[in-house]
Amino acid sequence: MELLNEVLDNIGELDSETMEKAQRRLDSLTKPLGSLGRLENIIVQFAGISKNFMPKIDQKKIIIMCSDNGVFEEGVSSCPKDVTSSVTQNFTRGFTAVNVLSKNAGADVIVVDIGVDDNIVNDKILNRKIRRGTDNIAKGPAMTREEAIHAIEVGIDIVKSQKEAGVNLLGTGEMGICNTTTSSAITAVLTGADVKDITGIGSGLSNSAFLNKVSVIEKAIIVNKPDKNDPLDVLCKLGGFDIAGLVGCFLGAAYYRIPIFIDGFISAVAALVATRLNSKVSDFILPSHGSSEPGSDLVLKELGKPAFLNLGMRVGEGTGAALAFCIVDAAYAAYTKMGTFDDAKIEQYVPQD
């Protein structure tokens, strides 16, 4: 709890002076004012985070939190439970979706076992296991408050290690059978939305299985009575270790001043919890894509982070973050390589009243 409190109490703000310098450079480039749209916003935000109007964006990592969820026993997933362990280990073999897309974006992945229900022995996976999966939220809390804090601090600590290694751009990802169930439960409580409206079919549920999933989430909320005004209470009662670890990643990125991308629905829910713990965290977060999970748009709206891409994706893993890295590369190339009006011997555009 000491580390979490230290982080929550000391998250800073974006540096406005540096952001103004970055905007002046953008305005000096040979283009109509503001014509690169959200690409310009990215650069200005990165400048404010790094306190450098020429921020470095050359070391990228995607942190993938992997964990099992006790609610599996309620029949809310079409996948076998051991898929969590299999995919977690496959991340180290280089052929999963996030491996391919992150490599294309010039990024590496960090695979974290924060709660997989298996005895994984793999030196390419960070063993930060809280325990082998959470408890069944339909019967009681997923974890204790102390376990939730421990998982959050795991995420913070991993971000710290990346900061020390010189990483200057982070993405988030996850793997955990049933984590759309836990994410939908948290979303319903924190936003007040109807469970049926923000719950999806996950990995391909039948209609009857979907209705069961909705019923299980509703039951979990009734059984646990989470306090919507206490994000930690909601997280420990309805969440997963993967979500809690990602909450720590978002908090840590804000504390250590590293821009960090949301991936899809699950990581967006983690971002929402993080911003409810400290609203300043929002300044350090960027969206990637709009997941096809029904709750995704609502959570991004709550965050005030409209998606950069809408491709109908619902892979998870960090794939959306990897694609967003390519957008960052484009923004940075324009910012650093375009000529100025002075270079082109053209009179600079000025805003008209």
In this predicted model, what pLDDT tens digit does every residue of 263-285 receive, in sequence order?
Answer: 999 999 999 999 999 999 999 99
> What percent of the chain is predicted at pLDDT more than 90?
90
Average pLDDT over residues 284-298: 94
Rg (CA), the chain: 20
For strand 169-175 and strand 260-261, is the pairing parallel, antiparallel, or unpaired? parallel
pLDDT band at 292 (very low <50, low <70, confident <90, very high): confident
Higher pLDDT, 79 or 6: 6
Give the model's pLDDT for residue 353: 61
Measured at the CA of 70, the angle between CA 178 and CA 291, to 5 degrees, comes to 15
Q: Is 317 a catalytic residue?
A: yes
pLDDT band at 343 (very low <50, low <70, confident <90, very high): confident
| C-beta of residue 48 within 8 angstroms of C-beta of residue 16 | yes
Average pLDDT over residues 128-137: 98
Average pLDDT over residues 317-346: 93
Selected catalytic residue, list 40, 293, 302, 317 = 317
| C-beta of residue 151 within 8 angstroms of C-beta of residue 248 | yes
Give the model's pLDDT for residue 340: 87
For the chain, give the mean pLDDT.
Answer: 95
Spatial CA neighbour of 15 closest among 62, 48, 41: 48
In this predicted model, what pLDDT tens digit does every residue of 223-269 receive, in sequence order?
Answer: 999 999 999 999 999 999 999 999 999 999 999 999 999 999 999 99
Element at 300 (helix H, strand E): helix 296-303
Pairwise CA distance, residues 92 & 81, whole Å: 19
Higher pLDDT, 75 or 244: 244
Domains of the chain: 60-334 (3.40.50.10210)
The token pair that represents 321 in the structure block: 């973050």
Q: What is the 3-state secondary structure (H, E, C) of 238-299?
A: HCCHHHHHHHHHHHHHHHCCCCEECCCHHHHHHHHHHHHHCHHHHHHEECCECCCCCCHHHH
pLDDT band at 171 (very low <50, low <70, confident <90, very high): very high
| C-beta of residue 149 within 8 angstroms of C-beta of residue 156 | no
| C-beta of residue 206 within 8 angstroms of C-beta of residue 235 | no
Q: At what angle do helices 179-191 and 265-277 cross, to 10 degrees?
A: 40
| C-beta of residue 137 within 8 angstroms of C-beta of residue 153 | no
Pairwise CA distance, residues 144 & 243, whole Å: 14
pTM above 0.85, yes or no: yes
Give the model's pLDDT for residue 203: 67
Q: What is the DSSP letter of 91?
A: G
The amino acid sitting at 139 is: K
Spatial CA neighbour of 194 closest among 185, 203, 202, 181: 185
Give the model's pLDDT for residue 240: 98
